[in-house]
């Protein structure tokens, strides 16, 4: 039996022993552009040195820290994958799965030979649709591929009873990033819509359709109607408004007479007595729309979406159609990424926890885990102190907030229990089939949780991910090992000031108390633990943050959506203040020793900045402004910092400078 550790040893031997000697210069000071005044443009001051030497490559739509970290991790996992191919391990083993996935995916010749054959069975099933009943039956089959035909069916924790796994129905079905892309009348959107119809047409032509232009136009009209009753990004963030519990046997009558939900859910082995419907008006609208849309259009819609979902894993023609719209037009990428990078993303998506287990064993030593456990402890204590000191909150709400904070669980680095992939089939027949199998496996894995108690040890992000999350239903922060990575440095080489600023620990803790998280209690249930007066004071304070961010205009005429990004902006700002308080209790702060010519406090703020060091192409920035709940990188830095007096002091920024906001404008929440 081949041991994964041996594969790592093989991978290590490729990585080159000379790597560490490159790190003589401090990266925080190396990135600075000394010609820029931090009071005029702090983001350019902090990153300008790096930006000047690192323009966005043609194969990318953005370029910065997340790419550097991902590349560093993926280079390691690539070697693990390549060595897994050579290992020829026993069928069914994890090593064999990694080897077969990688070897098959990298084989471009095979992708050309199999063509669209991997989709044939489902395409035939779609072609057989002749009425609403056969349509609905087919969509339930397609749900298994983790694609969302019209809508999504999910099993996850009931927001009001966090110990119970409940069935959720949510809006879906749009091929463009969200409703605004269909409904906005601006010039940029008109062009994108035209490009989208071209994309649909090309896919339908690939399927051999003669009348592809008309079909594509009809599919577009159908999706535009769907967009008309879909909720916006900010509406989807309201946990109360998106929680509508209905008895399963009333769904058909009350929402969609065309869909017999009890019978259909049973085909997925789901027999719930109630269902949580995110957006009831969407399902009503969909029910009406299905009745008035010609069956042929609905068939074409499903065919084109199914093909579109898997196009990146098929032959060159399908890949090219996918690239031209989803990457070139929508994100501004000029050429595709190298194949190995795209395959690595797909492998991470499909069997990421197998790779993650290898990764942390080698690159996240126990000393790093201990260090971040200590940071979490210090930052949690600092947050408790901040709650006690709040001058606007009553003792009753404070007591509940402290109780929630004390109960918050922290998962650091990697899961204690690893996912079992033994039922997942990874073969050597085709790349696309492996991705489809992984999608089906993930769906079955999710559905199988229904009826079982919630498992709070489960991770929803792999350990090698450069990110982190707060799960309100578990009242839990999850901090993957990948989120602590600084490119080119071992963890021990990151000084404390840098680490306290860079790791997003305070940010994730504050999510438990943002405009969304505050509605969940210490046990993860959606209940109101605030006095009415404290709740209204909170709302009033957050309004100032909404106004601050809504005033930023990253693209001409496109402002940040201060309401949609509110939760993230609260977390960024509250998190920074808390991380800073915690850092001030350390020896590194008290000693005040400079590193790379920078004081500890300067390194703290530059550490935060490094987490968002990124430049992006215009289409990608536009997409982010419209669809994502995070403010763009630059404003995640200057937005919260410009409410913090220590920041002004650290970089000697005076009131006359553009970065300065007067103390009367500083927002105070946590």
C-alpha pair distances (Å), 56 with each of 50, 61, 532: 11, 7, 49
What is the DSSP secondary-structure string of 250-268? HHHHHT-TT--HHHHHHHT
User: Could you tell me the smallest distance in angstroms from the CB atom of residue 230 to Zn ion?
Assistant: 23
Comparing CB distances to Zn ion, the nearer of 27 and 576 is: 576
What's the min distance (Å) between Cβ of 568 and Zn ion?
A: 5
State in angstroms the smallest separation of the CB of 453 from Zn ion.
Answer: 27
Compute the least distance from the CB of residue 435 to Zn ion, in Å. 28
Query: Minimum CB separation from Zn ion for residue 625, in Å?
Result: 17
* Residue 211: DSSP 8-state: S
Nearer to Zn ion, 341 or 404 (CB): 404
Name residues whose C-beta falls within 8 Å of residue 231's C-beta, 6 or more positions apart in sequence.
171, 179, 242, 279, 282
Residues that bind Zn ion (CB under 5 A): 568, 571
Considering the complex, what minimum distance in angstroms separates the CB of residue 602 from Zn ion? 24
HSE at residue 408, side-chain half, CA atoms within 13 A, is: 34
Alpha-carbon torsion, ordered 26, 31, 33, 34, to 10 deg: -10
Q: Which is nearer to Zn ion, 81 or 631 (CB)?
A: 631
Q: Are 506 and 574 in contact (CB under 8 A)?
A: yes
What order of strands is seen across the sheet that includes strand 161-171? Answer: 151-158, 161-171, 274-277, 244-247
Instruction: Name the DSSP class of 324.
Output: I
CB of 516 to Zn ion, least distance (A): 10
For 590, which DSSP code?
Answer: H
Q: Please check whether residue 305 is in contact with residue 139, taking contact to mean a CB–CB distance below 8 angstroms.
A: no
Rounded least distance, CB 573 to Zn ion, Å:
12
- Residue 332 CA to residue 666 CA, distance in Å, equals 36
Cα–Cα distance measured from residue 590 to residue 586, given in angstroms and rounded to the nearest whole number: 6
In the complex, the smallest distance separating the C-beta of residue 500 from Zn ion, rounded to whole angstroms, is 17
- Closer residue to Zn ion, CB minimum distance, 299 or 518: 518
User: In the bound complex, what is the minimum distance in angstroms from residue 146's beta carbon to Zn ion?
Assistant: 24
* Residue number with CB closer to Zn ion (572 or 581): 572
Strands 161-171, 151-158: pairing kind: antiparallel
Nearer to Zn ion, 323 or 612 (CB): 612
Contact 304, 173 (CB under 8 A): no
Q: Shortest Cβ distance from residue 630 to Zn ion (Å)? A: 7
> CA-CA distance, 354 to 419, in Å (whole number)?
8
- 3-state SS of 628-655? CCCCCHHHHHHHHHCCCHHHHHHCCCCC
Residue 397 CB neighbours (<10 A): 21
Q: Which residue lies nearer to Zn ion by CB, 80 or 504?
A: 504
Q: For Zn ion, which is the closer residue by CB, 181 or 513?
A: 513
Tokens of 325: 């719209």
Q: Which is nearer to Zn ion, 501 or 600 (CB)?
A: 501
Q: Are strands 62-64 and 161-171 parallel, antiparallel or unpaired?
A: unpaired
499 or 571: CB nearest Zn ion = 571
Q: Coil, helix or strand for 170?
A: strand
Q: Which is nearer to Zn ion, 136 or 571 (CB)?
A: 571
Tell the smallest beta-carbon distance from residue 237 to Zn ion (Å): 12
Q: Report the residue number, 259 or 509, with the smaller CB distance to Zn ion.
A: 509
> Which residues in 180-193 are b (16+ Cβ under 10 Å) and which e?
bbbeeeeeebeebb
The answer to whether 218 and 300 are in contact (CB under 8 A) is yes
Residue 461 DSSP label: S
Q: What are the tokens at 75?
A: 């280079």
């Amino acid at each position: 039996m081949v041991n994964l550790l041996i594969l790592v040893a093989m991978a290590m031997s490729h990585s080159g022993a000379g790597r560490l000697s490159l790190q003589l210069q401090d990266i925080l000071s190396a990135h600075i552009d000394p010609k820029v005044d931090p009071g005029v443009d702090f983001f350019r001051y902090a990153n300008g040195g790096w930006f000047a030497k690192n323009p966005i490559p043609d194969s990318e739509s953005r370029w910065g820290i997340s790419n550097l970290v991902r590349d560093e991790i993926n280079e390691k996992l690539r070697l693990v994958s390549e060595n897994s191919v050579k290992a020829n391990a026993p069928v069914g083993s994890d090593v064999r799965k990694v080897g077969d996935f990688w070897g098959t995916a990298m084989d471009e010749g095979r992708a050309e030979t199999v063509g669209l054959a991997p989709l044939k069975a489902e395409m035939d099933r779609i072609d057989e649709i002749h009425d609403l009943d056969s349509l609905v039956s087919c969509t339930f089959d397609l749900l298994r591929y983790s694609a969302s035909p019209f809508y999504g069916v999910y099993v996850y924790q009931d927001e009001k009873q966090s110990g119970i796994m409940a069935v959720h129905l949510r809006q879906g079905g749009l091929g463009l990033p969200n409703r605004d892309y269909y409904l906005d009348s601006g010039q940029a959107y008109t062009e994108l819509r035209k490009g989208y119809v071209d994309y649909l047409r090309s896919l339908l032509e690939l399927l051999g359709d003669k009348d592809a232009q008309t079909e594509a136009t009809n599919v577009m009209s159908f999706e535009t109607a769907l967009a008309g009753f879909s909720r916006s990004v900010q509406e989807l963030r309201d946990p109360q408004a998106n929680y509508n519990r209905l008895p399963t046997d009333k769904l058909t009558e009350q929402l969609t007479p065309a869909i017999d939900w009890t019978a259909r859910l049973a085909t997925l082995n789901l027999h719930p007595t109630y269902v949580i419907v995110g957006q009831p008006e969407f399902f009503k609208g969909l029910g009406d729309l299905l009745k008035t849309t010609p069956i042929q259009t609905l068939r074409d819609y499903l065919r084109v979406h199914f093909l579109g979902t898997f196009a990146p894993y098929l032959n060159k023609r399908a890949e090219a159609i996918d690239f031209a719209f989803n990457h070139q037009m929508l994100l501004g990428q000029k050429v595709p990424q190298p194949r190995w990078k795209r395959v690595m993303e797909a492998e991470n998506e499909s069997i990421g926890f197998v790779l993650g287990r290898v990764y942390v064993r080698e690159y996240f030593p126990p000393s790093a885990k201990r260090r971040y456990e200590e940071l979490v402890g210090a930052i949690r204590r600092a947050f408790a102190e901040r709650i006690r000191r709040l001058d606007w909150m009553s003792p009753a709400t404070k007591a509940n907030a402290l109780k929630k904070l004390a109960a918050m669980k922290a998962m650091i680095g990697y899961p204690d229990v690893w996912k079992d992939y033994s039922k997942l089939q990874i073969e050597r027949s085709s790349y696309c089939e492996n991705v489809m199998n992984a999608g089906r496996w993930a769906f079955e894995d999710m559905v199988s949780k229904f009826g079982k108690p919630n498992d709070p040890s489960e991770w929803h992000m792999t350990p090698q991910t450069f990110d982190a999350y707060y799960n309100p239903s578990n009242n839990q922060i999850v901090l993957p090992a990948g989120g602590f990575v600084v490119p080119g440095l071992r963890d021990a080489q990151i000084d404390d000031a840098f680490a306290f600023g860079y790791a997003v620990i305070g940010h994730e803790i504050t999510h438990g108390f943002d405009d969304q998280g505050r509605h969940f209690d210490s046990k993860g249930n959606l209940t109101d633990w605030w006095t009415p007066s404290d709740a209204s004071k909170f709302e009033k304070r957050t309004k100032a943050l909404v106004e601050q961010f809504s005033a930023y205009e990253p693209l001409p005429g496109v402002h940040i959506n201060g309401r949609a990004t509110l939760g993230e902006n609260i977390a960024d700002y509250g998190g920074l203040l808390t991380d800073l308080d915690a850092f001030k209790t350390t020896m590194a702060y008290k000693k005040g020793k400079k590193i790379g010519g920078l004081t500890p406090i300067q390194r703290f703020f530059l550490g935060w900045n490094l987490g968002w060091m990124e430049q992006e192409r215009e289409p990608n920035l536009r997409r982010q402004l419209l669809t994502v709940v995070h403010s763009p990188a630059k404003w995640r830095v200057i937005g919260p910092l410009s409410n913090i007096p220590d920041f002004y002091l650290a970089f000697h920024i005076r009131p006359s400078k553009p970065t300065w906001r007067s103390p009367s404008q500083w927002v105070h929440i946590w």
